Chain A
Amino acid sequence: MRPAKVLLLSLWLIVPIVSFAAPPVSERIKDAEETFGQVLKNTPEKEIRAAAFFTNDMSLENVRAAFGKSPLVVKGFRHGTQSYSGGYSLKQGETLDEAIASYSRDHLFFLQKRMEIEDQALAKETNNDLRKAMADHRKEADQMEADFKKNGIRVVGVEVAGRARDVQDFKEKNSFVRVIELTERGKPQSAIVPQR
């Protein structure tokens, strides 16, 4: 085998092994753009469910305002950082304002619940390694609470329903939309979180 071939093969075998150390966000975005692009091209009137992920995180109020005149129906919100991610799926009949209020309330409720559980666990746990891991986790909760008190929930994406062409129109009118990804029957999928 010639040296160039050996080099090519080595790179080809090594790159995938190294690449799973970090999620290939660019690859996922490319796939999402291609898939949505096909739907838009072939069936622009089709009713779809999709997630719009943002370039930067935004406040719930700003996201609310962006959907003021849009024909799209908001089905859910996504929040998160590189270290955690979550969201809120709207219940049947729930208005956007009700959902925003419930989302903020629950975020704080479950943060406080987590702190309570972890404080109890730390008081009872006898294994030193698990205690240390739990203590680290508890500190992360402190940070999450501090972030929430300072900035509120920072939204990184929304799940929407509507015609494919309306989803594209929303993207074109709002430069904060980084990518549209079909949500495949509406289940919340892992978020594409903005890089910090």
Chain B
Amino acid sequence: MSNFMRVMFVLCATFVLGMQNASASSVSCTNATDTQFVPSWGRVEVGTDQYSRYIIQYMYWDKIQRMQWLGTNGDSTFEPDAWFYNYGDQGGLAYGLAPAGYWYSDLPAPYVDTQFEDQFTVGLNQYLELNETAVTVGSGWAVLINPAKVYITVTRMTSGRGSSGWVKLSAQRGRQVPATCMTTWCSFGCDTNNNYQTIPFADHFTIPGCQQYNWLWDITVRRTC
């Protein structure tokens, strides 16, 4: 086999294996540590006005090494997920259910992620049955995220039954499958070391409110804004 054919075979095999993995809920990725994709700093503000509830997230990677995995994988994706505590039997009712209405972000190729196929026609009961409800604006093209730059995501959301509640943030790395597809349906979480909770439920961060974190940026610390 010529060298050319050998390279072709390896790349085709990689693509096929990648597609096989993508049929599950995760995809194989090259190894990474948390300090190669989790933001150095982040901030979340959850609030309400006369129209609806909303969530605003900020994130910042202080230097290129902190986003090494995102920056060296051309098909990388990134999701700063916000999860609302909805363990009703343990006294918690979700403050937010799903993105709805206005949204924007300056993350590269942003998309809205929800747990159901259509956030506006799905029955309310389906959300109420979940123990955690996610509201996410992700980046479908995370290789273009820059270090030393602040990014923002904003979205309004539908209200859960709680007038207050807890929220956790998690930073998730993933890949586009197939590459160049930038919808939420093509963004798969990595199968290992994919997800770190930058603000865990255990903190009992109560919303509406504002919290910020440093993730192994000097230290790991969380505090009110």
Chain A residues at the B interface, C-beta cutoff of 8 Å:
1, 5, 8-9, 13, 16-17, 19-20, 23-24, 27-28, 31, 79-80, 83-92, 102-103, 106-107, 109-110, 113-114, 117, 120-121, 124, 129-130, 132-134, 136-137, 140, 183-190
B219 to chain A, nearest CB (A): 12
A9 touches B7 (CB 8 A): yes
Residues of A within 8 A of B100 (CB): 89, 91
By Cβ-Cβ distance, the 3 closest A-B pairs, closest first, are A86-B104, A20-B74, A190-B109
B110 touches A85 (CB 8 A): yes
Residues of A within 8 A of B58 (CB): 117
B4 touches A86 (CB 8 A): no
CA distance A90 to B120 in the complex (A): 8
B90 to chain A, nearest CB (A): 30
CA distance A33 to B186 in the complex (A): 18
20 further A-B contacts with Cβ under 8 Å, apart from A187-B111, A189-B140, are: A1-B4, A9-B4, A13-B7, A20-B75, A23-B180, A27-B180, A86-B102, A87-B103, A87-B104, A88-B102, A89-B112, A106-B51, A107-B102, A110-B56, A110-B104, A114-B154, A184-B185, A185-B185, A188-B103, A190-B141
The A/B interface has a contact count, at CB < 8 Å, of: 143
A111 to chain B, nearest CB (A): 9
Residues of B within 8 A of A89 (CB): 99-101, 103, 112, 119-120
Chain B residues at the A interface, C-beta cutoff of 8 Å:
2-4, 7, 41, 43, 45, 49, 51, 54, 56, 58, 60, 62, 74-75, 99-106, 108-114, 117-121, 140-141, 143-144, 148-150, 152, 154, 156, 180-185, 225
Residues of B within 8 A of A186 (CB): 117-118
A133 touches B105 (CB 8 A): no
A130 to chain B, nearest CB (A): 6
Which residue of the partner chain, among A8, A83, A88, A133, contacts B150 with CB atoms under 8 Å? Answer: A133
Residues of B within 8 A of A140 (CB): 106
Most chain A CB within a 10 A radius of its CB, from B7, B104, B112, B144: B104
A11 to chain B, nearest CB (A): 12
Given the known interface contacts A89-B100, A89-B101, A130-B60, the answer about A190 and B185 at a Cβ–Cβ threshold of 8 Å is: no
Given the known interface contacts A91-B100, A120-B225, A136-B150, the answer about A23 and B114 at a Cβ–Cβ threshold of 8 Å is: no
In the complex, the chain B residue whose C-beta lies closest to that of A140 is B106
In the complex, the chain A residue whose C-beta lies closest to that of B75 is A20
CA distance A134 to B99 in the complex (A): 26
A189 touches B111 (CB 8 A): yes
B103 touches A23 (CB 8 A): no
Residues of A within 8 A of B114 (CB): 187
Which residue of the partner chain, among B45, B148, B154, contacts A86 with CB atoms under 8 Å? Answer: B154
In the complex, the chain B residue whose C-beta lies closest to that of A23 is B141
B148 touches A9 (CB 8 A): no
A114 to chain B, nearest CB (A): 7
A91 touches B183 (CB 8 A): no
Which residue of the partner chain, among B60, B105, B150, contacts A85 with CB atoms under 8 Å? Answer: B105
CA distance A62 to B106 in the complex (A): 25
Residues of A within 8 A of B109 (CB): 23, 85, 190
Given the known interface contacts A121-B43, A185-B117, the answer about A106 and B184 at a Cβ–Cβ threshold of 8 Å is: no
